[in-house]
């Protein structure tokens, strides 16, 4: 069976913030599982969920807002790579960003941008991709298509006489 992406949220209130992540995983045909568990509020649920998911998951994505210790605690309990996504709940998400980004040596978390759900999915797929040639090729195709689309948008914006850049 292909390794899954394991998505963990600190609260059910984070659910709207993961949509771009799950949409992207769906787009790429990458399977995932979602769990809601908090390092602060439900450490035992978190520990049990991680144990349950460890064998089937190839990479974890942990979403948390406020004082976001969840990604770091996930990283302390798994040997799989962990991607952390700061959720903008308070202080524009800066509190969560700083909690996630400065991990002590030995417990790495790949910190995404604040609300960087889409990049989290693309990054996680990139981690899984080398394990499966088919998915790797698909990832390459998809990324090229995505980048070409953006490039075309910028070209159009800059076309002389189009008057698209209005100050």
Three-class DSSP category at 167: coil
Q: Is 50 in the site for ligand C2R (CB under 6 A)?
A: no
d(CA 65, CA 45): 18
The bridge status of strand 57-65 relative to strand 32-36 is unpaired
Q: Closer to ligand C2R at the Cβ: 58 or 93?
A: 93
Q: Closer to ligand C2R at the Cβ: 70 or 121?
A: 70
For ligand C2R, the binding residues in 90-129 under the rule CB under 6 A are: none
Candidates 32-40, 50-58, 119-127, 157-165 — which segment interacts with ligand C2R by CB under 6 A? 32-40
Q: To 5 degrees, how large is the angle CA 114–CA 19–CA 122?
A: 65
Q: Closer to ligand C2R at the Cβ: 39 or 97?
A: 39
| Binding residues with ligand C2R: total (CB under 6 A) | 17
**Cα→Cα distances 58→33, 77, 90, 125, 163, Å:** 11, 14, 31, 10, 48
Candidates 6-14, 47-55, 78-86, 156-164 — which segment interacts with ligand C2R by CB under 6 A? 6-14
Q: Closer to ligand C2R at the Cβ: 11 or 24?
A: 11
Kindly tell me which residue out of 33, 34, 40, 80 binds ligand C2R, with binding defined by CB under 6 A. Answer: 40
Sheet order of strands, 57-65 included: 32-36, 4-9, 57-65, 82-87, 110-111
Min separation Cβ 129 and ligand C2R, Å: 28
Each residue 57-76 as x (binds ligand C2R by CB under 6 A) or -, in order, gives: -------xxxxxxx------
Give exposure, 83-106, as e/b (b: 16+ Cβ within 10 Å): bbbbbebeeebebbbebbeebeee
Interacting residues with ligand C2R (CB under 6 A): 10-11, 13-14, 38-41, 64-70, 87, 89
């Amino acid at each position: 069976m292909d390794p899954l992406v394991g998505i963990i949220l600190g609260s059910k209130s984070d659910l709207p913030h993961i949509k771009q992540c799950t949409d992207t995983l769906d787009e790429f045909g990458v399977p995932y599982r979602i769990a809601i568990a908090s390092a602060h509020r439900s450490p035992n649920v978190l520990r049990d969920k991680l144990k349950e998911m460890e064998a089937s998951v190839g990479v974890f994505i942990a979403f948390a807002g406020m004082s976001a210790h969840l990604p770091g605690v996930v990283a302390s309990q798994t040997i799989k790579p962990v991607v952390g996504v700061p959720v903008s709940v308070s202080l524009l998400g800066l509190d969560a960003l700083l909690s996630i980004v400065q991990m002590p040596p030995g417990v790495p978390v790949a910190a995404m941008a604040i609300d960087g759900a889409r990049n989290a999915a693309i990054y996680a797929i990139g981690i899984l991709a080398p394990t499966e040639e088919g998915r790797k090729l698909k990832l390459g195709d998809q990324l090229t298509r995505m980048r070409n689309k953006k490039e075309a948008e910028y070209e159009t914006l800059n076309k002389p006489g189009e008057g698209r850049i209005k100050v």
